Amino acid sequence: MANKSANKKTLSVYLYIPNIIGYIRVLMNIVAFARCFSDKKLFSVLYFISFICDGIDGWFARKFNQVSTFGAVLDMVTDRVSTACLLAVLSQIYRPGLVFLSLLALDVGSHWLQMYSTFLSGKVSHKDVKDSTNWLFKAYYGNRLFMAYCCVASENTNLKVLMML
């Protein structure tokens, strides 16, 4: 009986509102990147909506107490894949593309190091930096407005570079 209850709880995690938003983000990104070379305007709109949904899903997770490991991983992987695809597209448009591929390596590497150090220190979230000595980590993860500004500025810059063609 307990196993049936655990399976029902596990199934419900997949139907959490923030996770459904995550699935929609994945679908939007698939369509966006499938059309990125032929319809830049559609690509930009879908990519930007996906980006906005990235903030909304976290808000829903906290508001409805639907925080889950599955949702956190879905969100992080969707973010990394979206950024990686965008940088790969930019590296194909602007030659030589080494600067975009370097940014891709920096993005993946820095997130991997942050996540790995989080697990080694026994923390639950990579955003828990209250005991960090790094002022930049504290500023970025400790102030949601600053983090939002950095994310929006970065994505806006990437989309402007893409639209310049």
Please list the active-site residues: 79
Distance CA 152, CA 16 (A): 26
Q: Give the contacts of 162 (CB within 8 A, at least 6 positions apart).
A: 36, 40, 43, 44, 86, 89, 90, 93
Instruction: Name the DSSP class of 129.
Output: -
| Per-residue tokens: 24 | 């929609």
| Dihedral sign from CA coordinates of 92, 97, 98, 101 | negative
